[in-house]
Amino acid sequence: MIDLFLRGGPVMYPLLACSILVLTVIIERMLFWFSVDLNRNRKLIEDVLELCRQGDWEAVRSRVSGSRDFIIRVLVSGILHREFSMVKAMEAAAAEEIGYMRRYMGILDTMITVAPLLGIFGTVIGIITSFEALGSVGIDQPQAVTAGIAQALITTATGLGIAILSVFPYNYFNSRVEKAVVNIEKYATSLEIVYEKLEGEERES
């Protein structure tokens, strides 16, 4: 493996840095989403909405204490600012939560583009090396020419491999973010409806 790396030439070093960066981001995001799944509490969300229907805001405060569910945080932000602008408060809280979920995704996106380009750059360098060797030693020493070709193929394969292995987790993490956005919108809308109905009942009474 080390021999293959050295045969790839100087471009293998930035490709190695790219692969380490990609692996670090993937592990960090996997741990993040594992933590999100661990802290999800759908029953608590339903309980909070039921307490909101009853207008028992103090019970909501005590019920959600210690919860780390991202949807609960969004709903609580709306509840705390219900007398000013519930919708805008939840939008701001949701934007913050989505920001956490999309953290480092730009790095993966960049690596998917940069790694193949670095591979092509290494290919060009390898071909140039081959032609220089061909010009200096001729066809009498083919090993001097094939070394440059090998370098070209190794960097191309490495760059494509990094990009391909980055695409799958990138798409998976993006799908998780999209699903989270849908869930936030669903429960935030439910809270808005509940609060508007409660306000209407209070005005009638």
The answer to whether 146 and 105 have CB atoms below 8 angstroms apart is: no
Alpha helices in the chain (DSSP H): 2-7, 12-39, 42-54, 57-63, 70-80, 86-101, 105-137, 142-204
Banded model confidence at residue 143, pLDDT cuts 50, 70, 90: low
d(CA 85, CA 68) in angstroms, rounded, equals: 23
For the segment 53-80, the average pLDDT, to the nearest whole number, is: 88
Q: Where are the domains of the chain?
A: 10-204
Output the pLDDT for position 145. 60
Structure tokens at 1: 């493996």
Question: CB within 8 A of 27, min separation 6: which ones?
Answer: none
pTM as predicted: 0.84
Output the pLDDT for position 71. 94
d(CA 162, CA 171) in angstroms, rounded, equals: 15
Q: Residue 188 to residues 13, 23, 45, 48, 66: CA-CA distances in angstroms? A: 48, 35, 11, 12, 20
